[in-house]
Amino acid sequence: MTVLVTGSRGKVGSTLITLLQQAGADVRAASAAPEKLSLPPGVSAVKCALDDPATFPAALDSVTSVFLYAEPSHIGAFLDEAVAAGVEHIVLLSSSSVLDPDAADNPIAASHLAVEQALAASPVESTVLQPGAFAGNALQWRWALESQGAIDLPYPGSYGDPIHERDIAEAVLAVLTQPRLRGGTYHLTGPESLTFTEQLTILERAVGSPFPFNTVTREAWKESIAGYMPGAFADGLLNYWASTDGSPAPLTTTVEELTGHPARTFAHWAEENADAFRAAR
**What average pLDDT does range 259-274 have in this prediction?**
98
DSSP H/E element including 189: none
Q: What is the largest distance, in Å, between two alpha-carbon atoms of the chain?
A: 55
pTM of the model: 0.96
pLDDT tier at 191, thresholds 50, 70, 90: very high
What is the overall mean pLDDT for the chain? 96
pLDDT tier at 196, thresholds 50, 70, 90: very high
pLDDT of the residue at 279: 80
What are the extents of the domains in the chain?
2-131, 133-164+190-249+260-281
Q: Is pLDDT at 166 greater than 90 in this prediction? A: yes
Class of 2-131 in CATH: alpha beta
**What average pLDDT does range 85-97 have in this prediction?**
98
pLDDT tier at 281, thresholds 50, 70, 90: low
- Same fold for the domain at 2-131 and the one at 133-164+190-249+260-281? yes
CB 167 within 8 A of CB 192: no
**What average pLDDT does range 207-213 have in this prediction?**
96
- Looking at CATH, the fold of the domain delimited by 133-164+190-249+260-281 is given as Rossmann fold (3.40.50)
**What average pLDDT does range 117-129 have in this prediction?**
98
Q: By CB neighbour count within 10 A (0-12 exposed, 13-18 middle, 19+ buried), where does 124 fall?
A: middle
